Amino acid sequence: MTATVLRPRPTPSRPSPAGPGGGLLGALDDRRRALAGVGPNWFATVMGTSIVATAAVDLPVQVPGQRVFAQVVWVLAGLLLTAVGAATVGDWGRFPDRARRLAADPVMAHFYGAVPMALLAFGAATLVVGVDLIGAGAAVGVDWVLWLLGTVLGLACAVVVPYLMVSAATGAALIPHAPAGQLPQTLLDCCYAMFGISLLASIVVVTLLWGRLARFKVGAAAAVPTLWIVLGPLGQSVTAANALGAQAPGVLRGPYATAARALGLIYGLPVWGFAMMWAALAITTGTDLFRVAAAVFFIGLLAAWITVAARTTYGTWTGELLR
């Protein structure tokens, strides 16, 4: 008698939860690890979208439908903040080692500053754009919460340079909404203090960076994004100087208020000439040159935002940006 060996039949392989292919997150080997691709740099999408909404309202040149466009962009920024915030919390909870590696990365570490700046930018946008949709009381309350949280997070970042400048610039908008008494003066003083801290630190860092560029040129491609960070403290310092100067007459007395307001223009014009980042000076000078410059720069900002938004949406859908 011959024994018959029954070989187990191969079971059909189950489809991978996320094998490479087309469709949603098709570029990922495992769709369940999509959160691992969400880093602090994603908060830059919130910051940029909030800036577009704010700039659309503050632009000295207005066209029909522009404010409605700003409101739509503000809603989008709020959805992005909610989604990216939830994804980041989930990422840090499931992959804490990756979060620590990002903090140690010389390029990605800078993007941790995008977290407080996103909160500050969306808070400022809420005060000038979201007020149309949620009311003045709610808008002021949201801005207070986000400004305080963003400022605390900025102070907690040991490597912060431009983040405190953003707090100084956006904090100025809260001064008229502060309760009467010592709080407006205290808030103005704190904002000027953060302005000074960031400005002096920025001067040191920019000087070191340009000295290194003069000796070693641009360097590795991975270090190129850090060069753009220089524009942050330059642009925000001009914004802070003018925003605080505009609020000074309601807080400071006599010549001090006049000097604070003049400081914004005297400081802002040379820095604008150096960095070409100062479009909002149109509000201060009132000249046609800066109105045209503001419109041109806003068109450039809008074109860049649309391009980045389209590519980010496509990269997120396919999973390329989450790998």
Q: pTM above the 0.75 mark?
A: no
Neighbours of 209 (CB within 10 A): 14
Do 207 and 299 sit in the same domain of this protein? yes
pLDDT given at position 289: 63
Do 102 and 201 sit in the same domain of this protein? no
Is 315 inside a domain boundary? Answer: no
- 8-state DSSP, 14: P
Mean pLDDT of 195-221: 70
Is 101 inside a domain boundary? Answer: yes
Is 282 inside a domain boundary? Answer: yes
Mean pLDDT of 274-301: 59
Do 78 and 129 sit in the same domain of this protein? yes
Do 79 and 126 sit in the same domain of this protein? yes
Share of the chain above pLDDT 90, in %: 13
263: left (phi over 0), alpha (psi -120 to 50) or beta: alpha
Do 90 and 128 sit in the same domain of this protein? yes
Is 59 inside a domain boundary? Answer: yes
Q: How many domains does the chain have?
A: 2
Do 101 and 205 sit in the same domain of this protein? no
The answer to whether the CB of 57 falls within 8 A of the CB of 128 is yes
The CA-atom distances, in angstroms, between 205 and each of 197, 252, 275 are: 12, 32, 16
Is 68 inside a domain boundary? Answer: yes
Is 13 inside a domain boundary? Answer: no
49: left (phi over 0), alpha (psi -120 to 50) or beta: alpha
Do 51 and 89 sit in the same domain of this protein? yes
Is 105 inside a domain boundary? Answer: yes
Is 69 inside a domain boundary? Answer: yes
Confidence of residue 126 (pLDDT cuts 50, 70, 90): very high
Lowest mean pLDDT among 203-207, 287-291, 313-317: 287-291
Mean pLDDT of 257-284: 68
Cα 202 to Cα 162: distance, rounded to the nearest angstrom: 7
Do 132 and 206 sit in the same domain of this protein? no
Domain boundary residue, one of 140, 160, 180: 160
Do 148 and 249 sit in the same domain of this protein? no
Do 135 and 251 sit in the same domain of this protein? no
Q: Which domain does 63 fall in, by range?
A: 35-160
At 189, which helix (H) or strand (E)?
helix 183-216
